[in-house]
Structures are given as structure tokens and as C-alpha cells.
Amino acid sequence: MEKKCQSLTGMKDRLPPETALWQEMESQARKIFHNYGFAEIRVPLLEDVSLFARGIGEGTQVVQKEMYDFVDKGGDHIALRPEGTAGVVRAFVENSLGKQEGIAKLYYMGPMFRYERPQKGRLREFHQIGVELMGVDSPHADAEVVIMLDRLVRSLAIVDHEIEINNLGTLTERQGYLKTLLSFFSQHKNELCADCQNRLEKNPLRIFDCKIPTCRSLCRKAPAITGHLGGETEAEFSVFKENLKKANVSFTVNPYMVRGLDYYEKTSFEFTHASLGAQNAFAGGGRYNHLIEELGGEATPAVGFAVGCERLIALMQARASADKKRHGVYLIGLNEQAFSQCRYLLQDLRDANVPAEMDFAVKSLKSSLRRADKLHCRSVIIIGEEELKKGSAVVKDLADGQQQEVALESLVTCFGKRSKP
Ligand code: HAM
């Protein structure tokens, strides 16, 4: 036998029934985003490598270690997108989207690629649902996207998620903070790993991304951004927090949360869930007021976030089983004649928009009921010799166990009514 083909490390097939959760997540996101005035943008998976280096930051883990980059047949150095923001900003600038209405509210969904060490919740091909609100520098815009994300999470019946927020200061305010950080970490240089000693020279903020225990414990003692923010930034941060409170969004302020990408300033936030383990952040984002200018556009402030879909799906899978509603009908024909009758009925039900399933050959009642349960069907229609004689079927509700006899000609109408959610 030939060797079996296998998917690549860190890349996964998405199979039924999990794909139903993906559809639910995506359709819920589209519905909510549209209500908030966002429209979909679709951009290429491949971009010039310099877009990500310039956009995300040369000193970040993503650019230094995790890019899927290569030289194509024409000699261009290109990369698979590791995140969505840089590509959307490129499209915004290239298509002059800011000129049309001043404000652009965009969302996207799709695969991202990072060459990371795979582990629970961390993949090399993963998916994001992202949002970018471009053209306003306002804490109301920051609050709008955080509230929208919170509502999306709640609409998927996910409970107990936590939201951490921070304010990273304006670029000028951050310069002051970086000096304080530099002096703190320089005093402890010997305790830092080789990578962090390097980061100290380039961008001390990135030391907060290090996973090595000694660096992490040093980070916990490092000075926080609090105290480096100017009056205006503090006031904006208060408006942001006030807006969240009014919308019943609970949060905690974490002054050490710096996020792993270089483009953020002022508001930043992360959504976490304790049940996810080590990779507990299932969404993150923040304000990026200089990225559009840095990528060749006119100075345009912006804010956005991205949800890690695989992590959100894991949370959906953990929802209470009571939440898994039974739906549709399973048909069981106990002999050849009843089986044919059921196949005709199956088509009639499907034509009437009733989700209906059955086997392709006569099977025992026991194994058929087992399959109906596995498919999470709400009801079964059973036709045997007796029922054929009477021109009826036994209809059993698998949710409450109730059973009744229904005339064959009334079945489609009866289920047409029932199948309404
Ligand atoms: P990010 O924090 O790098 O932000 O990624 C957002 C989310 O993607 C994370 O919270 C996580 O759930 C998920 N994620 C990241 N890497 C992986 C991975 N290797 N495997 C599975 N899930 C992963 C961004 O990407 C920004 N572009 C978000 C943004 C949009 N900021 C402003 N606008």
C-alpha cells in the first residue's frame, strides 16, 4: 500500500459536525457586524513580505520567527498573511477607501498562517474574524468595537469570558515609558534570556511577549504604563471605560497587557476564557493611529480586533449539552416496502424544507434509532408492516419521548409546521 497522504503539522481539516458550529459563528458575526454598520472586505492571502515587516514590526515574534515567506517563481519575496490588519490597511490605501466616506467600517474572515510550535489552541493555519474601523480617533469607536465583540460572544451562548483592557499611551507618551522600561531592564540585563537582551536594544516592550519563566517573573516587577499617560489620554480612557460599563461589559484594567504586535497605541484589549488553558486569549485588538500612514496612506486613525476562530469554536463546543437543540426528522422503514415508502416521504419532507435523513438500506429498528440519536434528530418516523396496512406512521419525539400515530398523507404538513424553529 502507498504511504497515506497527511495534512501538514499545525494544519487541520474542519469536519462535520464541527463545521455546523463554524457556520453558526460566521453567520452570527455577519448579522451582528451588519447591524453595527460594518461591511465585508476580502483581501488576498499572499502579500509582499515588506507589508508585514513594516506593518506588524520587524522586532515582533510574528515577523522574526513565524512568517511563511518565500520567493515565488518571478523572484518576488512574498508571505502568507499572519494576520488581517496589514492587508486590509493596504487595500484601504490602494483603493482610497477613506476618500469615499471618511469612515470605513470593514470586517473579514479567513485563514491566517504563523509558523509557530503547535499546541492546544495554537495552530500554523488558523482562522480569524476581524474588524477594522478606520477614520476616527475616539474612545466611542473603541467602545463600539469592544461592545460589538462582547455581544457576538454572548450571542453564541458563551459565558464567563473575561475582558482585559489597557491604554498604551500615544506614541509620544510611550517614548517616556520606553525610557523607564529600558532603564529597569538594563539594570537586570543578566537575568534576561539572549532573545530579550536583543529586544532590550530594539524595543523593550517586546520583552513582555517572552515565555521564558525568568523573563516573565522580571516582567511582573517591571514598571507599568500607568503614570506615563497624559491628561487627554487618561480622559479618553475614562470615556472608553464608562461606555463599556453602560453597555454592561465587565472588564479589568491590566497595565501590563502590551499585545504582541507593534502597531498599537492607546486603547488595547484582549478577551480571554479560563477554560482555554495556556492559550487563553480568544480575541484581541486595539487602536492603531499611525499604521495607515506608515503603509503609505494619509494619516488616518483606526481601531480593530480579531477573533481566533478555533478558540471561539472550542468555547462553543464546551457549551451546555442542553443547548444542543435537536432538529429534523429521521425516517425508518422496517421492511423493503416500508423503506421505499420512506424514501418517497423523505423527498417530500425535504421539498417542504424539513431537515430529513434516512439510511440507504433497511436496517434494524435499534441501529436506526441509535443513528437518529447520533444525528441529533428531533423526531423519528417509523413505518413497519402494521403501519403500511393502516396507511399511517408512528412518530416519536426524541426530546420528550411522546409517541403518536399520524396518517401518511398528513406527515409532511405536520412536520412542515413543527420544523419552524
Ligand atoms: P492577535 O492577537 O495576534 O491580533 O490575534 C488575534 C487572535 O487570533 C488571538 O487572540 C488568538 O485567539 C488568535 N490566534 C493568534 N495566533 C494563533 C495561532 N497560532 N493559532 C490559533 N489562534 C491564534 C491580530 O492578529 C490583530 N490583527 C488583531 C487586530 C485587528 N488588531 C486591530 N485590528
Cα separation values, 359 from 215, 374, 415, Å? 59, 13, 19
pLDDT at 107: 98
Q: Distance from the CA of 271 to the center of ligand 1, in angstroms?
A: 11
Q: Distance from the CA of 2 to the center of ligand 1, in angstroms?
A: 38
Mutate to test the pocket of ligand 1, among 105, 126, 166 (most ligand atoms within 8 A of CB): 126
pLDDT at 154: 96
Q: Distance from the CA of 282 to the center of ligand 1, in angstroms?
A: 8
pLDDT at 211: 83
Could you tell me whether strands 162-167 and 252-253 are parallel, antiparallel, or unpaired per DSSP bridges? parallel
Contact 128 CB / ligand 1 (< 6 Å): yes
- Coil vs helix vs strand at 325: coil
pLDDT at 418: 58
Contact 132 CB / ligand 1 (< 6 Å): yes
What are the DSSP calls for 346-371, one per residue? HHHHHHTT--EEE-SS---HHHHHHH
pLDDT at 421: 40
pTM of the model: 0.86
Return the C-alpha cell found at 271.
478577551
What CA–CA distance (Å, rounded) separates 237 from 234?
5
pLDDT at 132: 98
pLDDT at 321: 53
What CA–CA distance (Å, rounded) separates 272 from 315?
11
**Angle 32-305-110 from CA coordinates, rounded to 5°:** 75
Contact 283 CB / ligand 1 (< 6 Å): yes
pLDDT at 322: 45
Mutate to test the pocket of ligand 1, among 38, 261, 271, 290 (most ligand atoms within 8 A of CB): 261
Q: Distance from the CA of 307 to the center of ligand 1, in angstroms?
A: 6
- Coil vs helix vs strand at 47: strand
Place of cell 517573573: 217
Contact 161 CB / ligand 1 (< 6 Å): no
Contact 282 CB / ligand 1 (< 6 Å): yes
Beta-carbon neighbour count of residue 213 at 10 Å? 9
Q: Specify the residue with its C-alpha closest to ligand 1, atom 22.
A: 308
Contact 130 CB / ligand 1 (< 6 Å): yes
What CA–CA distance (Å, rounded) separates 298 from 324?
49
Contact 301 CB / ligand 1 (< 6 Å): no
Is the peptide bond between 17 and the residue preceding it cis, with omega within 30 degrees of 0? yes
Contact 260 CB / ligand 1 (< 6 Å): yes
- Mean pLDDT of successive 10-residue segments in the chain (421 residues)? 94 95 97 97 98 91 93 98 98 92 94 96 97 97 97 95 96 91 93 91 87 90 90 97 96 90 94 93 97 96 98 91 73 97 95 94 96 93 96 93 93 74 40
Contact 47 CB / ligand 1 (< 6 Å): no
Q: Distance from the CA of 50 to the center of ligand 1, in angstroms?
A: 20
What CA–CA distance (Å, rounded) separates 368 from 365?
5
Contact 281 CB / ligand 1 (< 6 Å): yes
